[in-house]
């Protein structure tokens, strides 16, 4: 939640035409999520996501991989946007290319900031609409609109599934949006997406779902049962209905709202958003979630509007209750929820959200209230519970039945076991020792043991050099038959490759069930390693594997005819 992150920017580098680093082909079914299954996203700054990868995913290969990541940007002239270089806005550090490279193939949720608070002039919205008001007539208004097109083009070229949260938390008083300007601007954004052919970019209409009303005359009245209708831009331009969920009924008055009087109960607001989504036939998204004002490492809590931290006496289950309510709500509403995003952030490390003890929201040293630390890896019990929740088959990449996590009752969930070997290793300049390999062609192959790339059964365009397939070009393929999954459904495929392409040049490696024209079960976006002798290992989520699959085909994809990669081996996890 970058509430006022773009206030007073003019000193930062101007936006240029956005050219993405990562270009990955989308599977044919990437625009949708399987009915009844939910994609989990992690956010929300580049350092947050790097830490999550290094401290959670790389240490525990069995931790379910997130289906996507969340980042933020803007279209304000003379402001950095994070698309082509690192951008630091009030301590919120964003570098889209870096994060996309660290999470190859992951979906991308983008919070598009369109406010100009505290002036509340709605300049970005008016510029998008094309109004010729004096302050945006001419070059300035054109720059806003050009920046919007640049952003959409960038997102299109990523090849990722993109959830564009247009003016996220549209009804938050802190954004100062005008209802008419917001609705009209949202429609223009969708029109530009269509005009530019960005079919992978889906719009998200996200309510703040805030428990305290703002000014009713400006439609910030969350307690009004008809509140959402005043802001809705139309079924023809909204792809997903979204909301923020920072509070839960059983605990929000204990600490978070102990210092103020809310006007609504959290679940009433959340239910209203989901009812709206169902009524309009739209999938829903929890676009922002975190236990605001708790600290997972220090085990303490505070009010959200003043930093008056109190110790939880070492009882992690008092924070665990927040997660229990969160995941219970997600599971109850799996009929409509398709995407859920969690903010895995140490808010105190970000200057915008720094709020020293005793400071109150709105003060110069506490502009956005108190947020705390919501990093799940900072407490082993919370990490273990979160992992078990994501293993629930209601989530994409979940393979277990039911929730299973123990969050409360004073009985801690067992901490995770010793981390496994990280699935992604630094590049090496010589082959490493791989796990036991499968038998050569003619014998059955264990899908969960290493399958040597050169042991292909059928191929087109590939050749062998030493112990690998070499110089594969776009559209070449290699098929591996008699692959035995033993009745198991794999979560991931891990593979070892090298590429003479530069480390900023992208391509895709498709894994198909059956032949090269069969269903795509994984399509990781990859980068060159700079040399055919520099190898790296990549794990990637597997989905939509048809029952009874016995053949796997690998196909590289690139936008040119040059050599793409060498493939050493692959195996399923």
Catalytic residue annotation = 169, 288
Longest CA–CA separation in the chain, Å: 75
Q: Residue 530, by phi and psi: left (phi above 0), alpha (psi -120 to 50) or beta?
A: left
Residue of 413, 410, 322 whose CA lies nearest to 372: 322
| Residue 357 CB contacts under 8 Å (≥ 6 apart), including other chains | 307, 308, 309
Cα–Cα distances in Å, from 126 out to 140, 175, 187, 231, 386?
11, 14, 12, 16, 42
Residue 498 tokens read as 């090298």
DSSP 8-state assignment for residue 56: I
DSSP states along 142-174: HHHHHHHHHHHHHHHHH-S-EEEEETSSTT-GG
492: β partners: 541
Residue 45 tokens read as 């700054």
User: In 10 A of CB 194, how many CB atoms?
Assistant: 13
Identify the H or E element spanning 187.
Answer: helix 179-195
Placement of tokens 């112990």 in the chain: 467
User: In 10 A of CB 272, how many CB atoms?
Assistant: 21
Cα–Cα distances in Å, from 378 out to 82, 262, 309, 414, 544?
27, 30, 18, 15, 33
Cα torsion 353, 357, 359, 360: sign: positive
């Amino acid at each position: 939640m970058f509430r006022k992150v773009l206030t007073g920017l003019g000193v930062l580098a101007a936006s240029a035409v956005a050219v993405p680093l990562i270009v990955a082909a989308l599977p044919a079914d990437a625009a949708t999520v399987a009915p009844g299954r939910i994609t989990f996203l992690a956010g929300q700054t580049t350092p947050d996501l790097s830490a999550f990868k290094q401290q959670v995913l790389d240490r525990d290969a069995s931790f379910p991989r997130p289906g996507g990541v969340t980042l933020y940007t803007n279209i304000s002239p003379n402001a950095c946007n994070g698309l082509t270089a690192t951008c630091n806005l009030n301590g919120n550090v964003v570098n889209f290319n870096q994060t996309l490279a660290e999470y190859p193939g992951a979906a991308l949720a983008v919070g598009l900031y369109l406010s100009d608070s505290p002036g509340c002039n709605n300049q970005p919205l008016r510029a998008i609409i094309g109004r010729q008001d004096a302050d945006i007539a001419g070059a300035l208004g054109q720059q806003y609109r050009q920046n919007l097109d640049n952003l959409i083009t960038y997102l299109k070229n990523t090849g990722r599934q993109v959830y564009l949260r247009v003016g996220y938390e549209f009804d938050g008083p802190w954004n100062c949006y005008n209802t008419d300007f917001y609705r009209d601007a949202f429609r223009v954004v969708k029109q530009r997406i269509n005009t530019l052919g960005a079919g992978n970019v889906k719009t998200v209409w996200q309510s703040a779902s805030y428990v305290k009303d703002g000014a009713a005359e400006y439609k910030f009245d969350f307690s009004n049962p008809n509140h959402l209708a005043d802001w809705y831009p139309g079924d023809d331009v909204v792809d997903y209905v979204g909301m923020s969920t920072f509070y839960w009924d059983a605990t929000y008055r204990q600490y978070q709202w102990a210092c103020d009087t809310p006007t609504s109960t959290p679940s009433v607001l959340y239910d209203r958003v989901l009812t709206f989504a169902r009524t309009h036939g739209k999938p829903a998204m929890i676009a922002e979630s975190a236990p605001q004002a708790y600290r997972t490492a220090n085990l303490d809590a505070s009010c959200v509007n003043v930093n008056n931290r109190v110790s939880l006496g070492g009882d992690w289950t008092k924070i665990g209750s927040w997660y229990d309510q969160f995941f219970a709500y997600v599971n109850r509403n799996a009929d409509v929820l398709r995407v859920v995003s969690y903010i895995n952030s140490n808010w105190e490390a970000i200057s915008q959200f720094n709020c020293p003890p005793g400071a109150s929201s709105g003060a110069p040293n506490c502009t956005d209230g108190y947020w705390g630390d919501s990093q799940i890896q900072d407490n082993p019990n919370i990490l273990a519970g979160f992992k078990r929740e994501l293993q629930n088959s209601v989530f994409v990449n979940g393979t277990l039945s039911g929730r299973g996590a123990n969050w409360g009752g004073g009985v801690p969930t067992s901490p995770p076991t010793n981390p496994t070997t990280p699935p992604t290793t630094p590049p090496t300049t010589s082959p490493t020792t791989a796990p036991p390999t499968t038998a050569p062609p003619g014998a059955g192959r264990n899908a969960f043991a290493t399958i040597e790339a050169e042991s292909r059964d059928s191929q087109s365009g590939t050749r062998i050099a030493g112990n690998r397939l070499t110089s594969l070009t776009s559209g070449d393929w290699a098929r591996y038959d008699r692959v035995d999954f033993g009745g198991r459904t794999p979560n991931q495929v891990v593979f070892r490759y090298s590429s003479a392409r530069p480390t900023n040049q992208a391509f895709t490696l498709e894994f198909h069930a059956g032949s090269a024209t069969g269903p795509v079960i994984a399509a990781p976006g990859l980068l060159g390693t700079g040399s055919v002798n520099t190898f790296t290992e990549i794990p990637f989520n597997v989905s939509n594997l048809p029952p009874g699959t016995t053949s796997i085909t690998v196909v590289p994809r690139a936008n040119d005819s040059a050599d793409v990669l060498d493939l050493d081996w692959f195996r399923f996890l």
